[in-house]
């Protein structure tokens, strides 16, 4: 007689583990046009509604998404054509949102994240985008490489 794990038991265990860590994901691509920023933030807000968030939590996430998408459009692609890639995921009480572009990238991420810093020479931008993202989300990570683009990953616990 051989010893081993019954295949049915193994499959049941895998299914149970998947249910415990059920992750729901929204993926979308939008053109880097300023009028698409509102669509992106509303789509993420509707997606996160399954978590039964408060109005304050919805507003926080919408503001952070708006800032990240706007950064991609204004700074990443510098007003030129491109695609903004957005992924939102719900896992348990955690919402994570990734906003990525394939634009010019950021040479000095640490400096770019300082309040009031902006690479905009027109004087129209306040340099508060990353500060707002940090204020409204629990975690923010910025990955960037000059010439290849930038990814902003933001996380927030909903319904503490």
Domain 24-157, what fold? Heat Shock Protein 90 (3.30.565)
Angle 7-8-13 (CA atoms, 0-180°, nearest 5)?
Answer: 95
Point out the catalytic residue in the list 37, 57, 71, 100. 71
Q: Quick one: pLDDT at residue 56?
A: 96
List the one residue out of 77, 63, 64 whose CA is nearest residue 33.
Answer: 77
**pLDDT tens per residue, range 80-91:** 999 999 999 999
List the one residue out of 31, 157, 27, 18 whose CA is nearest residue 88.
Answer: 27
Whether 152 and 123 have beta carbons less than 8 Å apart is answered as: no
Catalytic site includes residue 36? no
Which pLDDT band holds residue 64 (cuts at 50, 70, 90)?
very high
* Selected residue with higher pLDDT from 89 and 120: 89
Point out the catalytic residue in the list 6, 125, 139, 160. 125
What is the spatial distance between Cα 154 and Cα 25, in angstroms, rounded to a whole number? Answer: 14
Residue 27 scores a pLDDT above 90:
yes
Which pair of structure tokens corresponds to residue 36?
A: 């698409």
Q: How many CB atoms lie within 10 A of CB 109?
A: 15
Residue 12 scores a pLDDT above 70:
no
Sequential DSSP letters for 62-91 = HHHHHHHHHHIIIIISTTS--EEEEEEEEE
**Domain parsing of the chain, residue ranges:** 24-157
Whether 111 and 117 have beta carbons less than 8 Å apart is answered as: yes
Which pLDDT band holds residue 57 (cuts at 50, 70, 90)?
very high
Beta bridge partners of 24: 90
State the maximum Cα–Cα separation within the chain, in Å, rounded to a whole number. 79
Catalytic site includes residue 67? yes
Catalytic site includes residue 6? no
For range 8-26, the mean pLDDT:
63
Point out the catalytic residue in the list 37, 41, 57, 67. 67
Q: Quick one: pLDDT at residue 133?
A: 83
């Amino acid at each position: 007689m051989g010893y081993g794990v019954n295949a049915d038991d193994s499959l049941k265990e895998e299914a149970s583990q998947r249910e415990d860590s059920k992750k729901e994901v929204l993926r979308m691509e939008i053109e880097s046009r300023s009028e698409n920023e509102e669509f992106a933030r509303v789509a993420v807000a509707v997606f996160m509604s399954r978590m039964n968030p408060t109005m304050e939590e919805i507003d926080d996430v919408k503001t952070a998404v708006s800032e990240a998408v706007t950064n991609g459009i204004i700074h990443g692609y510098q007003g030129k054509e491109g695609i903004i890639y957005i992924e939102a995921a719900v896992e348990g009480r955690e919402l994570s949102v990734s906003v990525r572009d394939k634009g010019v990238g950021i040479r000095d991420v640490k400096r770019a994240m300082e309040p009031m810093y902006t690479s905009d020479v027109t004087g129209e931008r306040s340099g508060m985008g990353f500060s707002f993202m940090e204020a409204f989300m629990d975690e923010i990570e910025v990955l960037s490489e000059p010439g290849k683009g930038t990814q902003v990953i933001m996380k927030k616990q909903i319904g503490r």
